[in-house]
Structure 1
Amino acid sequence: MVTQSKKPAPDTARRSERSRRAIYDAALGLVAEAGYPKTTVEGIAARAGVGKQTIYRWWGSKADVLLEAFLDLSEQAAADAGQVSYAIPDTGDLAADLKLVLRLTVDQMADPRFDAPSRALAAEGLVNEQLGREFVAKLLEPQLQLYVTRLRSAQHAGQVRADVDPRIALELFVSPLAQRWLQHTGPITHEYTDTLVDYALFGLAPR
């Protein structure tokens, strides 16, 4: 008697992961092409090839989808670079280390994959308080803490005054860059961020 082998049960976890990745790609792609206001849950679902109910089962809004997709994109970029997460090197030369990481930030800002969704999240976070808090907690603050860690290391090495608050000091070069990027007040270049570091570390008074 010949028995028929049973078909393997569908791998729901793998299927869910494929759907999730398709939704990430769809959300990021639509925001880049059409802008945040014209991106809808229906549009994301259609582009990802899933039902709208699938998205609402995992996320509460298109903003939630975009935030998670952008976080995943950042993690993937770090993995592609062979890093667990972005980090600021500590070579002993504080100025060189800060200039390096800020140049990498400039390059990322110029990448359309990052530019459109990050602008959309920053703008939506101003009017959507919950999203704004999540954007800061999950994306912005962890990156700022990398600067805090590097500046504290410089303090221990005697390169930065002991009374300086690293969390405030980092704003001398991070905040002007963010403002110029958000408001389009000038070009975002390596030379610009190098100058920010020089001004922040060495001041404006004659030496």
Structure 2
Amino acid sequence: MASHQPAGQPAPDATRRSERSRRAIYDAALALVAEVGYPRTTIEGIASRAGVGKQTIYRWWSSKADVLLEAFLDLSDRAAEEARTADQPAYAIPDTGDLAADLKYVLRATVDELHDPTFEAPSRALAAEGIVNEELGRRFVATLLEPQLQLYVDRLRSAQAAGDVRADIDPRIALELFVSPLAQRWLQYTAPITYDYTDTLVDYALYGLAPR
């Protein structure tokens, strides 16, 4: 016998239910990585924390790395949307006409993000896992890093057009002068990352080491 929905009772919204489950899984994955670290985070632990069956997770993702990557992408998207809603600039490089000031501004914002536990734990976990998991590493770079690096490329090309950077410079290589040292210091804990440090990276990159 076919079941009937009670009069006046709306039919269950499977889409909304799935979205609630997906959001709970994102939050659980990010929380567990921050609390116990990536190696001790498991699909079972994420499922228990999210209040769903682990088969629900396996229906959408094939591994905990996939869950974490998508959760972190969602976290980044939400942060950008909140910034837009609050009428604050999302992650972007301004073009004020002062290249050094613009680069220092965005690198200081990067320092703040890298010190934010909400972003630091999943960022570090994905970066470390990407070294041993080649497929995850490629996806991490393509979906998270490359769009941000392209912002530097665009700003350096704008500086080239304004005559502030030599025309023969390859912006994609040039950006590594200040981005790569910051990433290495952060990943290896070799020393604190500070505003003074990133400001100095910009000065060294733009003005060189020779006496002026």
- Residue of structure 1 in register with 2:91 after alignment: 86
Written as runs of structure 1 = structure 2, the 5 A alignment for 1:36-115 is 36-82=38-84, 86-115=91-120
Take 1:38 and 1:111, find their aligned partners in 2: how far apart are those partners?
21
TM-score using structure 1 length: 0.96
Of residues 184, 198, 202 in structure 2, which corresponds to 1:197? 202
Dislocated runs of 4+, deviation >4 Å = none
User: Matches of 1:26 and 1:108 in 2, distance apart?
Assistant: 20
Distance in 1 separating the partners of 2:45 and 2:140? 23
- Contact in 1 for aligned 2:103/2:202 (Cα 8 Å): yes
2:138 alignment counterpart:
133
Structure 1: which 5+ residue stretches go unaligned? Answer: none
- TM-score, length-normalised on structure 2? 0.94
Percentage of identical aligned residues: 81
Q: Unaligned stretches of 5+ in structure 2?
A: 1-5
Contact residue 185 and residue 191 of structure 2 kept, 8 A? yes
Q: Deviations over 1:45-76 (max 9, x none)?
A: 00000110110111110000000001111111
Q: Does 1:163 align with 2:168?
A: yes
Say whether the 8 Å CA contact 1:75–1:85 is kept in structure 2: no
What is the distance in 2 between the residues matched to 1:86 and 1:182?
A: 21
Equivalent pairs counted in the alignment come to: 204
Alignment-derived partner of residue 31 in structure 2: 29
- Residues 124-183 of structure 1 show CA distances to partners (whole Å, capped at 9, x for unaligned) of 001111100100100011110010000000000000000000000000000000000000
Cα distance in 1, alignment partners of residues 193 and 201 from structure 2? 11
Matched residue, 2:18: 16
- Across the aligned residues of Structure 1 and Structure 2, the Cα RMSD in angstroms comes to 1.2
